[in-house]
Structure 1
Amino acid sequence: MRQAVLSKPDGSSFDVWRGTLAGASASLVGIGLARFAYTPLLPAIIGAHWFPASTAAYLGAANLGGYLAGALIAGLFARWAKTATVLRAMMLLASIAFVACAFPVSFLWFFVWRFASGLSGGALMVLAAPAILANVAPSRRGFVGGAIFSGIGLGIAASGTIVPLLLRQGLTQTWLGLAVVSLLLTVIAWNGWPKEDRSKTAPAHSHAAAHAKNYPARTLRALYIEYALNAVGLVPHMIFLVDFVARGLGKGVDCAAHYWVLYGLGAIVGPLLSGHLADRVGFGRALRVAYVVQTIAVALPILGTGPAGLMVSSVLVGAFTPGIVPLVLGRVNELLAHHPSAQKGAWSTATTGFAVLQAGAAYGLSFVFSSSGGNYMVLFAIGTAALVLALAVDVFAALRAK
């Protein structure tokens, strides 16, 4: 348990492991449950005649729109109040949204609360991990960051296991059950956030401005582009994997569910493994490895490697769905090590770019799929090309920096 408690310059201390648990709880609530739990709920919502299929799809998009809004205004929230206060409020908002969605009052009601759940997820993504990692020794930031974002993987796994069990009790009871889980995680995280000395914010900002000439702007812009392209590369598996196995390969829904479980298992361990790799070789090199592995994994269905290849593909892409996040956050902090006040803004920009291209790719690939007559291989090819381009941008930026 070395480095479990970190002494701060002002004499106070921060329990790193308790903070890590708080961060993991935030990512599980804001992303893992608020976003991914909706996927298995969608057929039940349509089947219970809460909303027609076309309308229910828009409700799914409401969460993505809210996520983008949350990523954009998280910094504004943090300027209005202490970061810990904002984080607690966002987790409570997600819990309240689950309760509200248990009652389909109207389309507008449901849309607003799905948007609110997305907003909480975007704000939690931008604020939670940086608040914790600022109090973690640099040699352990990869692993701690991975542990924080493993909450996303737990949510993906829960979407294929816990949610179907809750649905046996009824749709309303499922939403209320998710609210209870969310509220319990909020309580667990409540006192895990680091204390913030807001009086030190201004000098840090001035210090960053004084060193503006050394600001790694080009490398940082390249990182934003890479991360956004990575979002595109993940979309084919995130949206079409189950359908590809069930209908494209003719294996049926039950068989397809097994591949989604593998995807979820990969998502649980992915952030921990990628974070551990970053601690050993550095965030820059770990990112490059991630782009190469993802490129191969997304391309495997195209290569016709059979069930074994598709299993590997499912696990690896699942692993990097949340696993890429701590690598990019760590790289942002690495590039801005001498500009700590700029780190939150840079991470917000990276998260926003990821959210925009992920949503755009989701709609764009859906259009490509329908216009190509249901050609799954085109989707995987586009995802592979996006990851190849991300790798090329990273290598070019590294060479130019030298």
Structure 2
Amino acid sequence: MENQQKPSPCSRERAFLLSIFSSQSLPGTPYLDSGYSWVRLCVSVLISLVGSAGMWAVVVVLPAVQEEFGIDRSEASIPYTTTMIGFALGNFVFGRLVDRFGIVLPMIVSALMLGAGFALGSLSGNVWIFAAVQGILIGSGSAVTFGPLIADLSHWFERNRGIAVAAAASGNYLAGTFWPLVLKEVMASDGWRDAYMLVAVVSVCVMIPVAFLLKKRIPAHVVDISSAPDALPVTKRRIDISPRALQILLCIAGISCCVAMSMPQVHIVAYCADLGFGVSAGAEMLSIMLAGGIVSRLLSGFLADRIGGVRTVLLGSFLQCLALFLYIPFNGLASLYIVSLVFGLSQGGIVPSYAIIVREYLPAKEAGERVGLVIMMTVVGMALGGWISGLIYDLTGSYQAAFINGIAWNMLNMGIMALLLWRTGERRTANA
């Protein structure tokens, strides 16, 4: 009887490393929920951490830009609004490109756009040039690291799709936790323009090399199998609403929840400055808020794998509404730190759960485009909410009415999720 040699640990490690750096999988290598899938998730989080800097940098520099250019609060909010518009359009456009060409080429384009955008932003002579650079280059470039990246990653998971999507989306909040702390230190010593130049260099030097670790593409037949009824767990969700109507409802829900979400996220730094607590305290609160959002996203992903995306969004929206109420009576320094943490723990899982809903109800082949469209609408909500909050502040001289406005929009999102839950049923799969 011939001795059969088992592969040595070194051989297995070599094969695993080869599978990471190769564009093709080895014969017999699993695709879904595999070791490579988790490596790909880690790489995606790193890319999102770096590539999402533009969304938060513009919030941190808002008071400095307002002071340097001599403008009011609503005008100073325009660069954030253009950033969100660019981010919104980029999610949809690059989502379609990822469906067709894979993630690597769009990611390299993203890195180049971010490098150019931050460099040009640091040289801006007025708020309108700054706003244009934020929207066209930084906002659009950052988009690739969110919706399109999440949609691409979702194809590599089935059983753990919820937690994987949530973890990838947490890279955006990791950026919100990391970059404000770094940028406020650079701003304190060298100003906001040098802070922007730093982000330009980091974006190009990190994102381009790391993007090549994602060059492997999952075969089309695996995508088809992962969305077939007999490949799902015991039940598959259905809804008594047409795909087009469902897409429209998700877009409206995305806008409404993020108009509410934008008030604390966009204006917390300026709010703290107005209350006399300083920009540094506001940046710390933003970081705490987003750190709580990371925990919320991971817990929501774990929850979505068990109760579905619609229930997860409904729960998150309800908790976000309660947190917004807390901002109205509590405006002391210590209480704002606590409320910001509560808000982060409440709302972090809402946006990535929309991607789970898309994958539960809509065709997998169109995941990049459909997820990108919903994410685009959530960003439209952030842009609209950021501008409306600044306008309400200019009209009333206070942020109290802006919090109430956010609560009203939040109620609309909860109503849509309740409707989807009411029209949702379950059907047993063939292997149930």
Q: State if a TM-score over 0.5 links the two structures.
A: yes
Q: C-alpha offsets along residues 232-258 of structure 1, whole Å, 9 cap, x if unaligned?
A: 11122123334444435x555555454
Q: Which position in structure 2 is the counterpart of 1:345?
A: 369
How big is the shift at 1:134? 0.4
Q: Distance in 2 between matches of 1:306 and 1:59?
A: 29
Q: Which residue of 1 aligns with 2:10?
A: none
**Residue number in structure 2 paired with 1:210:** none
Equivalent position to 1:289, from 292, 295, 315: 315
Aligned to 1:386: 409
- Are the equivalent residues in 1 in contact too, given 2:87–2:140 (CA < 8 A)? yes
Q: Which of residues 7, 13, 16 in structure 1 aligns to 2:37?
A: 16
Q: CA deviation at 1:118?
A: 0.8
Are 2:153 and 1:132 equivalent residues in the alignment? yes
Given that residues 170 and 294 in structure 2 are in contact (C-alpha distance below 8 angstroms), is that contact kept between their aligned partners in structure 1? yes
Q: CA 1:225/1:259 → structure 2, altered by over 3 Å: closer, same or farther?
A: same
TM alignment of 1:107-186, pairs within 5 A: 110-114=130-134, 115-138=136-159, 140-167=160-187, 168-186=189-207
The answer on whether the counterparts of 1:145 and 1:326 sit within 8 Å (CA) in structure 2 is yes
- Report the CA distance between 1:308 and its aligned residue: 6.7
CA distance in 2, matches of 1:153, 1:185: 18
Q: Which residue of 1 aligns with 2:389?
A: 365
Question: 1:327 corresponds to which letter in structure 2?
Answer: S
What letter is aligned with 1:65?
A: I
CA distance, structure 2, for counterparts of residue 87 and residue 28 of structure 1 = 13
User: Against the structure 1 CA distance between its residues 302 and 347, is the aligned structure 2 distance closer, same or farther, given a 3 Å change threshold?
Assistant: same
Distance 1:68 1:346, change over 3 A: same
Question: Do the aligned partners of 1:66 and 1:119 also contact (CA within 8 Å) in 2?
Answer: yes
Counterpart of 1:93? 113
Q: Does 1:270 align with 2:259?
A: no
The answer (yes or no) to whether the contact 1:37–1:155 under 8 Å persists in 2 is: no
What percent identity do the matched residue pairs reach?
Answer: 21
Find the aligned partners of 2:121 and 2:398 in 1 and give their Cα distance: 35
Kindly tell me: are residues 13 and 319 of structure 1, through their superposed partners in 2, closer, same or farther at Cα, counting changes over 3 Å? Answer: same
Counterpart AA for 1:122: A
SS at match of 2:213: coil
- Give the direction of change, closer, same or farther, for the CA distance of 1:308–1:109 in structure 2 (3 Å limit): closer
CA contact (8 A) 2:177 2:291 kept: yes
* Equivalent residue number for residue 420 of structure 2: 397
Q: Please, which runs of 5 or more residues in structure 1 have no aligned partner?
A: 208-212
Cα distance change, pair 45–392 in 1 and its aligned pair in 2 (3 A): closer
Q: Give me the CA root mean square deviation.
A: 3.7
* Contact 1:283-1:327 at 8 Å conserved across structures: yes
The alignment covers a number of residue pairs equal to: 387
Contact 1:62–1:111 (CA<8 Å) still a contact in 2? yes
Determine the C-alpha separation between the residues in 1 that align with 2:25 and 2:289.
Answer: 39
Matched, 1:325 2:351: yes
**1:136 Cα deviation after fit:** 1.1
- Residue 128 of structure 1, CA deviation: 0.7
